[in-house]
C-alpha cells in the first residue's frame, strides 16, 4: 500500500516536473504514461489503500485535476505551435512572391538605373512654404536638387529623370534622397519613400519579421513595405 502511494506521488510529481520525468525516461528507456495508465494506477491506489486509514478523496481529485490541467496545457501548446508554423509558412510564401518586383519602402537610399527615372514620395506633417529633395551619389556628392515648391500636408509625390544638375545622364548605382521642407519658418527633415527591387528574401527567426534584400545590397523588414508594384 505504501509502495502504491509512493508510485502515485512520483507520477504526479512527474506531471508537475516534465523535465525531470523526461530525464528519468531516458535512463530507463520507458515511454511516458498516458491517460489510461494513469487511471489504472489511480484505481489500484484506491483498491490498496489502508481501510483503517484511507486517503482523503480530495487527494484523488487533486491528482485528476493536475493531470487534466497538464493535458490541456500540452494541447494548447501544440495548437499554438501549429498556428505559428502556419503563419510563418504563409508569411514566407507572401514574401517570396515579391522577388523581382518593385516595392516602395521607407528608405533614403536605393539602387537604381537613372536612365529609367524614379518616382517617390515624401510625407509632410504640415503645409510647407518650400520643399526640396537633394540627390546624392554613392560617394555622397550632391548631383541634383528637386524643387517641389510649396506643398500641403500629407503624402506628396515627386519624380527624378536620372540626370544631374548639369543635365548629364548619371550611371546606375546607389543614390540617396534627402528631403527637407520649410514649415513655419523652420527647416524640417521629411520621411522619404522610394521604389526598390527585391532580389531575395531572408526567412525570419522565431518572433521576428521577414527581411527583404534589395538591389544594391540594402535590406528592409517586410513590415516597412508601403506599396507593391510590378
Domain regions of the chain by residue span: 2-80, 102-228
Mean pLDDT of the chain: 76
Q: Is the pLDDT of residue 144 over 90?
A: yes
Give pLDDT, residue 206: 59
Please compute the mean of the pLDDT values over residues 171-195 and round it to a whole number.
Answer: 90
pLDDT at 152: 92
Contact of 143 with 136, CB cutoff 8 Å: yes
pLDDT tens, residue by residue, 70-96: 777 877 888 887 776 666 667 667 667
Query: Do the Cβ atoms of 212 and 220 come closer than 8 Å?
Result: yes
Q: What pLDDT score was predicted for residue 60?
A: 66
Dihedral over Cα of 28, 31, 35, 39: its sign: negative
**CATH architecture label of 102-228:** Sandwich (2.60)
Amino acid at each position: 500500500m505504501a509502495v502504491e502511494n509512493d508510485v502515485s506521488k512520483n507520477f504526479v510529481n512527474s506531471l508537475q516536473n516534465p523535465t525531470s520525468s523526461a530525464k528519468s525516461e531516458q535512463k530507463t528507456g520507458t515511454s511516458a504514461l498516458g491517460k489510461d495508465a494513469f487511471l489504472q494506477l489511480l484505481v489500484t491506489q484506491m483498491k490498496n489503500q489502508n481501510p483503517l486509514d484511507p486517503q482523503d478523496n480530495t487527494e484523488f481529485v487533486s491528482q485528476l485535476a493536475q493531470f487534466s490541467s497538464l493535458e490541456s496545457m500540452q494541447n494548447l501548446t501544440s495548437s499554438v505551435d501549429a498556428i505559428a508554423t502556419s503563419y510563418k509558412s504563409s508569411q514566407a510564401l507572401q514574401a517570396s512572391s515579391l522577388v523581382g518586383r518593385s516595392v516602395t519602402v521607407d528608405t533614403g537610399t536605393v539602387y537604381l538605373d537613372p536612365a529609367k527615372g524614379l518616382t517617390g514620395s515624401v510625407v509632410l506633417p504640415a503645409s510647407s512654404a518650400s520643399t526640396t529633395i537633394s540627390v546624392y551619389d554613392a560617394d555622397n556628392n550632391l548631383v541634383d536638387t528637386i524643387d517641389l515648391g510649396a506643398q500641403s500636408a500629407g503624402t506628396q509625390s515627386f519624380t527624378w529623370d536620372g540626370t544631374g544638375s548639369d543635365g548629364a545622364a548619371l550611371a546606375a548605382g546607389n543614390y540617396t534622397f534627402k528631403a527637407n521642407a520649410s514649415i513655419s519658418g523652420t527647416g524640417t527633415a521629411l520621411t522619404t519613400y522610394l521604389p526598390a527591387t527585391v532580389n531575395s528574401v531572408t526567412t525570419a527567426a522565431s518572433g521576428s519579421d521577414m527581411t527583404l534584400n534589395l538591389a544594391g545590397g540594402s535590406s528592409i523588414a517586410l513590415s516597412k513595405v508601403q506599396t507593391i508594384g510590378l
